Structure 1
Amino acid sequence: MKKYAAYGTLLLFTLIYVLSFVDRQIVAVLGTQIRDALVLNNLQIGLLYGPAFSFVYALSGIPMGRIADRSSRKLMICIGLFVWSLMTVISGFAASFIFLITARIFVGLSQAMLSPAVYSYLADSFSPEKRATVFSIYASGIFIGVGLSFLVGGTVSMQYDWRTAMIIVGIPGLILAPLVWFLVKEPKRSRKRSNQQENIIADLKSILSKKAVRYHLIGFSFLASMGYTILAFVGNVFNDVHQRPDLISHYGWFMFGVGLMVILSGRTADRLAIKEPKRRFLMGVFAALGGVPFYAWGLYASTPEIAFLMMGIGVLFASSYNGVAAAIIQYFVPGKQRALAAGLYLFVISIAGFGVGPPLTGWLMDFVFSGQYSVSHAIMTMITISSIGATLSLLMAMKYYESDAFEETMID
């Protein structure tokens, strides 16, 4: 019975994660409409989608992780869900760029409360041998959410406008938050907390002292930069290069496929780890290299149909790493540092992914490249750099896995 309850909670957390990414991604889906309605440029849309959210999200992740290690994870999840949903609804009434920036800051702050608490909760609820699979089921919510943001947000915005789309995608979270409070039970922590007040800086130094962790963070940051760049500007490929904005909403169907690929990647990582735990990193290398040829084909395709298909296939491979990445870092820390390690992971990949990828790509589009394929040149530049950087970093992380991994035992 306890096992079924744990899996039920996992599915509920996955649903919450779905809603978080609907609300997070909706700015990119509606980007061209917001740009035209508020008279913005591509750099401003990149800033709105990226740093306005990601810097707050990233900087909040570490202290939120420490709070989650010491307080009620259930309470953090419920408060975060309610606040970011409310801010998304309010964004539908924005009359200026500053208004949207302010709302996005609050979305970033409240969403930073979610994953550190969830990662800690799940690590205390499932055995280490199942962790990559469990975390990947949770991470599949990213792409179900992104897919729904394209399908629901894109469809509603085409039928009505971007403001109505913002309001509609924010409402479900307001309804779900009080239900989560009554349904979720706080699990026992796998390690007793010390009576001493550990120093957060000392704990961070302890985590970062491991070379495998440092290379892990660098490698998956490159992958995050690639992934969020695609999500931020794939609409521009269809709209600006091929004059087919209607394809933006249909692109969401591929995100459901990515959700399945994420789960498959986690399951494969757990199987690879039976003989050699360091082989979990191979799924990150697979993600770094697998999507590149499809992206290249899609970005320079002569027809919108081929561009749509190849960009969709590319994202299936390139975004499959998410659950594995979040799970792996848990193998390098004791139980009392789990949420803090998760906050550190989210901090680093958010700075690199949201904070660097989209605005840098937007800058390349506006000021470096020109012509019909300027958006393609900019995106391909980021993909190439990210793919090479991720592959080299993750191979180095494998080298130090055995010496840096933290031994633990836990039985479901």
Structure 2
Amino acid sequence: MSQAPASLEARESFIGGRGWTLGILTSIYLVNFIDRQILPILLPQVKAEFGLSDSALGLLVGPTFALFYATMGLPLALLADRVDRRRLIAVSLALFSAMTMVCGLVTQFWQLAVARVLTGVGEAGTGPASQTMITDMYPPQKRARAQAVYATGANLGVLVAFAAGGAIAQAWGWRTAFIVAGLPGLVLTVILLTTVRNPARGAHDGRAAQAGAVPLGTVMRQLWRSRAFRWTAFGACTTCFTAYSLSSFFPLFLSRSHGMSTREIGLAMALLIGVCGGLATYFAGHLADRLGRRDRRWYSWVPALAALAPLPLAPICFLAPDTGLALAAAVVPLSLTAAFIGPTITLIQQLVPVRSRATAVATLILIDNIVGLGLGPQFVGIASDLLTPSLGTDALRYALLAATGGSVVSFVGFFMAARHMRAEVEQQEADASASNG
């Protein structure tokens, strides 16, 4: 009998602890990416039903979602620096989950576009708030790994979106896939509100959070003066350009160039981005934390190497006539699409004061998504349409190959960021210590 209270106390501690909270936030990011990335696996069916061009598909996957997701992220991040982040995440989660279900009920293309816009608005409220909560729960030497665990939600979300979404779409149609995809988020909303606490800001930084949040103009000036931030943002947004281009159009490429079925494509994408990508994303954060203890520049060097590694395999992946060879060559390019997230988010939050972190993350997300998600898929769609008269069904191969050029640019950005980040982080820490003193 005496063990019951201790058991109950341990269970409550687990449920309210940082491991539980990290798990719930990662699950929210997972359903975020289910709702975001389920559309690419459904593109062949959506294209057939509405009679769309590749350019229109690029618009639907890219700018329709990205512009509102990116621009709404900044004002919602300002809220996250000022209000209860848990409640903000809950409202945002409920909105984008409901809008995903609405996508399955539309009857016209413009209605689907509007539903995707509102999905983007909802998803904008979860990322910066979640990432700053994680930073407040973990000491600096464990943050990149914790952020990488959170980032694996993207890979796992893609796994579920492609594997389950492809199977459901093939069996019951693309509308049912959207409706099923929206349900888990509504359940998670209830779990979040009833089991997760809002952590104290700056608890592991050796300094107290400011009494009030920093004004937007002040944060923007801080970020603009930071060479480390500018180069990191440059590297991250060009990485996103390639990553979103590949994840959005690779399913259509497998269907068009290799004749794979929706179910086969879903399984292939689940393994490439979900399983292999999840492992790569976690390992990148773990590696950055481990090597960063000796030299902080590894928080930039790890994303630089992740951008460089896929380049030799890209031509084989997109130009090989054999399906097995193309898929084997795709393992590295597709598995490293999110490897930059853990190290990069950890670095960005070290460059600003505690109560500016959500705004700094949202600024990075704004840049990443306007360039990456907004322009990447649209670039591939337009390039494919322009090349079709001369290349036919092979046009998409070369459009995707061209999009991998973003990785070359991102390597330069991360490499240059490493030249400035160590000095700037040390200066920020010194300023915070002087302020406390």
TM-score by length of 1: 0.95
**Letter aligned with residue 163 of structure 1:** R
- Say whether residues 1:34 and 2:9 are aligned partners: no
**Cα distance, 1:368 vs. partner?**
3.4
2:146 matched to 1:125? no
Q: Which amino acid aligns with 1:253?
A: L
What does residue 210 of structure 1 align with?
Answer: 226
**Which segment drifts farther, 363-372 or 161-170?**
363-372
> 2:160 aligned with 1:148, yes or no?
yes
State the partner residue of 2:7.
Answer: none
d(CA) in 1 for partners of 2:276, 2:43: 23
Give CA-to-partner distance per residue, 1:191-219, whole Å, 9 cap, x none: 33335x74312221212210110000000
Residue number in structure 2 paired with 1:394: 414
SS where residue 373 of structure 1 aligns? helix
Amino acid at match of 2:418: M
Residue in 1 that maps onto 2:319: 300
Uncovered stretches (5+) of structure 2, i.e. residues with no partner: 1-9, 203-207
Matched, 1:332 2:351: yes
Asked if 1:219 is matched to 2:235, the reply is yes
Distance in 2 (CA, whole Å) between partners of 1:289 and 1:189 is 36
Asked which structure has the greater CA Rg, the reply is: 2
Q: Which shifted more, 185-194 or 170-179?
A: 185-194
CA RMSD of aligned residues (A): 1.7
Q: Which residue of 1 aligns with 2:205?
A: none
1:230 is the counterpart of 2:246: yes
**Distance (Å, rounded) in 1 between the aligned partners of 2:113 and 2:88:** 23
393, 398, 406: which one pairs with 1:372?
A: 393
Instruction: Report the counterpart of residue 71 of structure 1 in structure 2.
Output: 83
Q: Give, in angstroms, the shift of residue 82 of structure 1.
A: 0.7
Q: Which blocks of at least 5 consecutive residues in structure 1 are unaligned?
A: none
Give the whole-Å Cα distance in 2 for the aligned partners of 1:260 and 1:198. 36
Paired with 2:144 and 2:338, the residues of 1 have a C-alpha distance of 15
5 Å matches for 1:10-409? 10-190=22-202, 191-195=208-212, 198-246=214-262, 247-250=264-267, 251-254=269-272, 255-369=274-388, 370-384=391-405, 386-405=406-425, 406-407=428-429
Conserved 8 A contact 1:140-1:323: no
Counterpart AA for 2:392:
G
One-letter amino acid of the structure 1 residue matched with residue 294 of structure 2:
K
SS of the equivalent of 1:283 reads helix
Query: What is the rounded CA distance, in whole Å, between the counterparts of 2:344 and 2:116 in structure 1?
Result: 25
C-alpha deviations, 1:52-74, integer Å up to 9, x for none?
11100110111111100000100
Aligned-partner Cα distance in 2 for 1:90–1:317: 32
With over 3 angstroms needed to count, the CA separation of the structure-2 counterparts of 1:317 and 1:189, relative to structure 1, is: closer
SS in 1 for 2:197: coil
Calculate percent identity across the aligned residue pairs.
26
